[in-house]
């Protein structure tokens, strides 16, 4: 039996409003289209908080991740790296425009 591969990556939230409203919707839509299920957690004091489903707009908004906050994305499985990297790169962009 093949062992599951977990992939994690941290990035900073670039959007001025953080992961709220429009940026949360864009990230959730992108997460829903990924091959692997991605979870996201806000980093506080270097430690990841409780993760939420990155495909959930409400979940993303409850993180309270603001501009400049660090978040950690996690997924497992064959497409974990590609899925996490795609979302990390999106979150690192200013999605307010």
Which residue numbers in the chain have pLDDT < 70? 1-4, 97
Tokens (6 digits) for 94: 């200013």
**Residue ranges per domain, the chain?**
6-92
Q: Quick one: fold of 6-92? A: 3.30.1340
Beta-ladder partners of 6 = 76
Exactly one of 20, 24, 54, 72 is catalytic; name it: 20
Residue 97 is predicted with a pLDDT of 67
Residue 5 is predicted with a pLDDT of 85
Catalytic residue flag (residue 20): yes
Residue 96 is predicted with a pLDDT of 82
Residue 64 is predicted with a pLDDT of 95
Question: Are the CB atoms for 84 and 21 separated by under 8 Å?
Answer: no
Residues 97 and 93: their CA atoms lie apart, in Å, by 10
Nearest-Å Rg of the Cα atoms of the chain is: 12
CA nearest neighbour of 14 among 85, 95, 86:
95
Residues 6 and 27: their CA atoms lie apart, in Å, by 20
E strands in 36-87? 39-44, 47-48, 52-53, 70-76
């Amino acid at each position: 039996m093949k062992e599951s591969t977990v992939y994690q990556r941290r990035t900073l939230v670039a959007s001025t409003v953080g992961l709220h409203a429009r940026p949360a919707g864009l990230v959730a839509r992108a997460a829903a289209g990924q091959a692997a299920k991605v979870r996201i957690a806000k980093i506080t004091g270097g430690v990841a908080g409780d993760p939420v489903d990155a495909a959930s707009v409400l979940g993303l908004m409850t993180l309270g991740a603001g501009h400049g906050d660090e978040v950690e994305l996690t997924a497992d499985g064959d497409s974990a790296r590609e899925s996490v990297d795609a979302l990390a790169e999106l979150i690192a962009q200013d999605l307010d425009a």
